[in-house]
């Protein structure tokens, strides 16, 4: 007999994963969905059964390659790539429209991994207005626009899930990350407030705050010696991998995570 999820829908088990963790019949939007952590999240949600709209900016090749791989593994039409600058309200609306049109109208999950970081890591006294504006334009404003759209458009049947991305840098307060960490602190605040404002809708909203993770965003602008210092500080003796982060997102997006709400979950191997 198949297990049932929290809404009483029997999805059975697949590859040893029980029904409450599965996402069959759900549609997810992942911003920055072809990036280091974003691509792992997109693939993981698809493996759990969700259909995924992979949002990207710039070069379409990584997103198209990712979508092709997801569709090859899980069936044609399981994923689409959508170009969308999350700092532009019209493009965010178009992203949600494209996902709804491609996958049958109902939207269930939003994951916001899109982010920018100044790889020169300037001290606050040397941070330009351009660096500040870029951090808050994408990381904070971009998340705000996606949250606003999701609050009005995600399913209100108990399956609506919002997972934003903060950073453990909000807690570690490393020099050189002032604008970035401040923008991510704004993400945490907006997410937790929205979770309370969505009372009665069945939609949950949580933030994931990764620590140092082996992605291009981590390595850009760092020497090998600087990267090694991060590893030396890690209690588990290594950097995180995107695949360490994705299962937490999958949990929060699923019925199994339905009682977790308005939280910031630091996924960092114990660095702070």
Q: Flag whether 249 is in a domain.
A: yes
Domain range enclosing 37: 21-267
pTM given for the model: 0.93
Whether residue 180 lies in the annotated active site: yes
Torsion of CA 240, 242, 247, 253, to 10 degrees: 120
Q: What is the 3-state secondary structure (H, E, C) of 50-106?
A: CEEEEEECCCCHHHHHHHHHHHHHHCCCCEEEEECCCCCHHHHHHHHHHHHHHHCCC
Catalytic residue among 56, 121, 180, 230: 180
Q: Flag whether 6 is in a domain.
A: no
Is residue 9 scored above 80 in pLDDT? no
Q: Flag whether 167 is in a domain.
A: yes
CATH number (domain holding residue 220): 3.40.50.720
Section 219-231 average pLDDT: 94
Is residue 2 scored above 70 in pLDDT? no
What does the pLDDT read at residue 17? Answer: 52
Q: What is the domain count for the chain?
A: 1
For 162-211, the pLDDT digits (tens) are: 999 999 999 999 999 999 999 999 999 999 999 999 999 999 999 999 99
Section 236-252 average pLDDT: 97
Q: Flag whether 13 is in a domain.
A: no
Q: Flag whether 138 is in a domain.
A: yes
For 39-98, the pLDDT digits (tens) are: 999 999 999 999 999 999 999 999 999 999 999 999 999 999 999 999 999 999 999 999
For 130-144, the pLDDT digits (tens) are: 999 999 999 999 999
Q: Flag whether 208 is in a domain.
A: yes
Query: Angle at the Cα of 144 (from 193 to 55), degrees rounded to 5?
Result: 130
What percent of the chain lies above the pLDDT cut of 70? 93
Q: Flag whether 254 is in a domain.
A: yes
Q: Flag whether 3 is in a domain.
A: no
């Amino acid at each position: 007999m198949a297990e049932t999820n929290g809404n009483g829908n029997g999805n059975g088990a697949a590859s040893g994963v029980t029904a409450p963790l599965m996402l069959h019949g759900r549609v997810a939007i992942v911003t920055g969905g072809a990036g280091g952590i974003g691509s792992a999240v997109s693939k993981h949600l698809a493996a759990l059964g969700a259909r995924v709209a992979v949002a990207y900016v710039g070069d379409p090749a990584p997103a198209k390659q990712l979508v092709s791989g997801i569709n090859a593994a899980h069936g044609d039409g399981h994923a689409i790539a959508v170009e969308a600058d999350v700092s532009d309200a019209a493009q965010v609306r178009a992203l949600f429209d494209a996902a709804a049109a491609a996958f049958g109208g109902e939207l269930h999950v939003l994951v916001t991994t899109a982010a920018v970081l100044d790889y020169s890591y300037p001290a606050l006294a040397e941070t330009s207005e351009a660096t500040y504006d870029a951090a808050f334009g994408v990381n904070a404003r971009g998340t705000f626009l996606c949250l606003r759209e999701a609050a009005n458009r995600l399913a209100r049947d108990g399956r609506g899930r919002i997972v934003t991305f903060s950073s453990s840098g909000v807690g570690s307060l490393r020099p050189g990350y002032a604008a970035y960490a401040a923008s991510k602190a704004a993400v945490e605040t907006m997410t937790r407030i929205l979770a309370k404002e969505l009372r009665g809708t069945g939609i949950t909203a949580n933030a994931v705050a990764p620590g140092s993770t082996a992605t291009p965003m981590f390595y850009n602008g760092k020497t090998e010696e600087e990267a090694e210092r991060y590893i030396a500080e890690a209690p588990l003796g290594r950097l995180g991998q995107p695949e360490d982060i994705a299962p937490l997102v999958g949990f929060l997006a699923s019925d199994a995570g339905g009682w977790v709400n308005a939280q910031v979950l630091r996924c960092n191997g114990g660095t702070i």
